[in-house]
């Protein structure tokens, strides 16, 4: 389970954004800028699409050490909202780079939830 969670955290940095005529960044780069602004001007980073994914990453980091179901689901949900939004923006704009940037996280999130469900089913079936 820890490998899945670490993969989710790392893949959350791979989301790709493009805006304007020549602006583009990976979510990891954007997150670095946000964290540096957090200490200088905390109010400037208070937006749901900034706070929820950051909270999701923090919850997944905690879940690496203590894998609790609600931590994992909340962490995936926090980051997943942004990744799903990016995925649909990529689909609507026919931007394959944005689509491909969100797919690793979405794929790993699906695998993690399937693995968690299978693990719990096997645990409950054992005498």
pLDDT tens sequence across 9-51 = 999 999 999 888 889 999 999 889 888 888 888 888 888 888 8
Query: pLDDT value at position 120?
Result: 80
Query: pLDDT value at position 126?
Result: 60
Domain ranges of the chain: 2-120
What percentage of the chain has pLDDT greater than the value 70? 98
- Residue 56 and residue 75 in contact, taking contact as beta carbons nearer than 8 Å: yes
C-alpha 35/C-alpha 110 separation (Å) is 28
For residue 116, count CB atoms less than 10 angstroms from its CB and return exposed for 0-12, middle for 13-18, buried for 19 or more. middle
* Dihedral angle, C-alpha 109, 110, 111, 115, nearest 10 °: 100
Q: Is 127's pLDDT higher than 80? A: no
């Amino acid at each position: 389970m820890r490998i899945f969670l670490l993969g989710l955290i790392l893949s959350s940095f791979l989301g790709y954004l493009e805006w304007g005529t020549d602006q583009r960044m990976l979510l990891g780069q954007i997150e670095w800028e946000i964290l540096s602004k957090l200490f200088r001007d905390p109010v400037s980073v208070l937006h749901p699409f900034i706070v929820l994914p950051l909270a999701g990453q923090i919850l997944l980091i905690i879940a690496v050490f203590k894998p609790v179901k609600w931590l994992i689901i909340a962490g995936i949900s926090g980051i997943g909202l942004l990744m799903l939004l990016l995925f649909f923006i990529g689909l609507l704009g026919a931007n394959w780079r944005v689509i491909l940037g969100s797919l690793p996280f979405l794929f790993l999130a699906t695998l993690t939830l399937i693995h968690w469900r299978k693990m719990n089913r096997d645990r409950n079936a054992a005498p």
